[in-house]
Amino acid sequence: MNHNRAVEGPRDRQVRIVTLRVFFVVLFSLIIAPAFAVAEGEGREPSGLAAMPIEELMGVEVSTVLGASRYEQRISDAPASISIITSQDIKRYGYRTMADVLNSVPGLYVTSDRNYGYLGAGGFLRQGDYNTRMLLLVDGHRMNNNIYDTAAVGNDLILDLDLVDRIEVIRGPGSSLYGSNAFFGVINVITKGAGHVSGLELSAEAGSSDANKQRATFGRAFGRGLEMVLSATRYSSRGQSLYYKEYDSPATNSGRSDGNDHEGYSSFFTNLRIHGLDVQAAYGSRAKGIPTGAWGTVFNDDRTKSTDTQGYIDVRYRRALKDNQDLSVRVFYDYYRYDGKYLFDYPPLTMNRDLAVGKWWGTEAFYKTRIKDRHTVIAGLEYRDNLVQQQKNYDDSPHAVYLDDDRGSYSLGAYAQGEFVVTDRVLVNLGARYDHYKDFSGRLNPRAALIWNPMEKTTAKLIYGEAYRIPNTYELYYTDGNVTQGANPGLDPETIRTYELVLEKYVKDFRLCLSGFYYDVENLISQQIDPAGLMVFANTGRAEGKGIQFEMERKWLAGFSGRFSYSFQEVSSDQDGVEFANFPKHLVKLNVFGPVIRNWLGAGMEIQYASAQKNLDGTRDGGYTLVNATLLSERIFRDLDLSFSVYNLFDKKYSNPGSREHVQSDIEQDGRTFRLKATYRF
């Protein structure tokens, strides 16, 4: 397969011109679409929606955010730049995984090595990083595990998207509230309650590559403050048949990887609420074939695969005290296991095993108070005990052990934040958190924000924040016996300072947002090749990133909605100015949804453009444009929802940069695929 490179031919330029024409036609239609809304509403009296202020109209689905300050507040008052994806968005655009959701968020992008999804933010995505610089929360519960610090964004996330009420993407450093890993931002997933799932709900999906998925969910509010949600999901797919030119020889099936891209998972979720007590539990296991021949494994053999298993139980009690005071206490226990099977031909033919087991528990106390009904102050304490952080690497037969590392650790954090009303138009938000980790010195991380409303329907935010990331157990101690990778227990934490400016304006029925950022990273942890030829994690100095972002959003009473964003981002070494690999300088995203046949059939279209990305070997994959389309019919037969989605509608050939464990400089991604989904409520 021939990949597009930095130098385009005449056909590539023609394709791009056609793509840009389609893009601007769609964008123009987004602007003139009010004509449809006007025609639909002629001769009618204004409804309740029509009488709303524009801020309320634009935020009918969501007007507040929870994760930015650990309590519910207006988005305009939050000390961060925030994007929200609702459950309605997930249905309208046919999102299948968290990666699909995040790829639609301004400024974010997700790559794949056909095993895991990797999230980039602010143009920053380093090879060897398992999403350690974004903190993932589910209803406030920390999902990053204690071995790799992974924020799962693919099918390894144990929560079904059908259970999601909304997803808050909070950009910028969040360590002043959340500690380590909240480096570039926080993703806060809020699940549906019994009010959203009333009774029994069954869902079935079928798609390309024999993909199929089944889900059963039961929810009910029993009265007297008792409600429950219970759900189970199963998924399987045989995956794609793939070609890699690097393995194109008769001895390696002429570069064809057949039957090795398979994937399957099962998950369970439950949430029980009674008065102020919440008990939440989740468990999931996902197995994925590795078709790329990563780490020098035998190519085109389906025995090479990885299995991720994760589960948790979280108990939280909330109580409203007198005089505008609230208290919350949380206790949790988590489990994580990774099992990697890698077939090597040393010779003899040998199965190498990677095992990682993590167990941890913790507790948190959170206090909030209102002062004179104007100022809000919060404070909290967190303790986390990593009971087990175990890593093993060994050969099955003949048996040989290369790593057997079993350790534990702990962390303690204390934080406070205040939102102070200076005038009716000015807010000041100040916060800081101190963390102490075993084997690392303590760290204080502040955040400050000035929020100004200079005129009606206009908000300006000036934000400064610091964050840090403790090197994880994998980066510090993993080795496969110095065959391909070595350990580095002397790593130091990396830190970041970020400056942001956010301008938001409502103009008639438009929401407009312009933002810019600059950040400086110190003690950057990167995967390197040492003089012995081994991969090793090392502190490689400093890096800086900068960018701008423009967003436009509009909704109409006739059911039309749309959003557009453009992002420019650039990341380089602070020492020599060398541009980093694995990021697109330009991202363009457009989402449009509208009714097709009255109120029972709607259509959603998503266009995503990513500019060229630099590979580790210095080559570049050309930019690409993807188009996804979904037809959605809600309650077509009373309690039945149907949807049909096509992804990569025009079958665009594109790739993502590979990592150091790959022979390939870039990894082929999926062509055109489809999904048919049906949901019935009893």
Which pLDDT value is given to residue 509? 81
Is the pLDDT confidence value at 633 over 70?
yes
Q: What's the per-residue H, E or C state across 405-463?
A: EEEEEEEEEEEEEEEEEEECCEEEEEEEEEEEECCEEEEEEEEEEEEECCCCCEEEEEE
pLDDT above 70: percentage of residues in the chain = 91
Q: Which residues pair with 528 in a beta bridge?
A: 536
Q: Give the lowest-confidence range in 71-75, 205-209, 261-265, 382-386.
A: 71-75
How far from each other are the two terminal CA atoms of the chain, in whole angstroms? 48
SS3 539: strand
- Band (198; pLDDT cuts 50, 70, 90): confident
Peptide linkage before 348 cis (omega within 30 of 0): yes
**Residues 241-266: pLDDT tens digits?**
999 999 999 999 999 999 999 999 99
Mean pLDDT, the chain, integer: 89
Is the dihedral angle over the CA atoms 115, 121, 126, 129 positive or is it negative? negative
Is the pLDDT confidence value at 600 over 90?
no
CB 327 within 8 Å of CB 369: no
CB 159 within 8 Å of CB 139: no
Is the dihedral angle over the CA atoms 94, 100, 101, 105 positive or is it negative? negative
Question: For the residues 204-232, what does the mean pLDDT come to?
Answer: 95
CA 414 – CA 406 distance, rounded (Å): 28
Cβ of 575: how many Cβ atoms within 10 Å? 10
Which pLDDT value is given to residue 80? 95
- Band (141; pLDDT cuts 50, 70, 90): very high
- Band (335; pLDDT cuts 50, 70, 90): very high
Is the pLDDT confidence value at 361 over 50?
yes
Q: Give the lowest-confidence range in 265-269, 306-310, 551-555.
A: 551-555
Q: Beta 305-321 vs 277-289: how paired, if at all?
A: antiparallel
CA 181 – CA 134 distance, rounded (Å): 6
Cβ of 669: how many Cβ atoms within 10 Å? 18
List phi, psi (to 5°) of 650.
-95, 15
- Band (605; pLDDT cuts 50, 70, 90): very high
Question: For the residues 88-92, what does the mean pLDDT come to?
Answer: 96
Higher-confidence position of 389 and 323: 389
Higher-confidence position of 224 and 577: 224
List phi, psi (to 5°) of 25.
-65, -45
Q: Which residues pair with 250 in a beta bridge?
A: none
Question: For the residues 319-333, what does the mean pLDDT come to?
Answer: 93
List phi, psi (to 5°) of 199.
100, -155
Which pLDDT value is given to residue 63? 76
Question: Does an H or E element contain 12, and which?
Answer: helix 10-32
Count of helix runs (H) and strand runs (E) in the chain:
7, 39
Q: Which residues pair with 334 in a beta bridge?
A: 312, 360
234-250 burial: b if 16+ Cβ within 10 Å, else e: ebbbbbbebebeebeee
Is the pLDDT confidence value at 622 over 90?
no
Which pLDDT value is given to residue 654? 94
Instruction: Tokens 């040393």: give the residue.
Output: 346
Instruction: Tokens 């909240």: give the residue.
Output: 182
Q: How far is CA 249 from CA 414, 628, 658, in A?
A: 58, 35, 21
Question: For the residues 397-420, what does the mean pLDDT come to?
Answer: 95
Which pLDDT value is given to residue 104? 97
Is the pLDDT confidence value at 50 over 70?
no
Question: Does an H or E element contain 224, and which?
Answer: none
- Band (14; pLDDT cuts 50, 70, 90): very low
Q: Which two tokens stand for residue 40?
A: 């639909």
DSSP secondary structure code for residue 548 in this structure: E
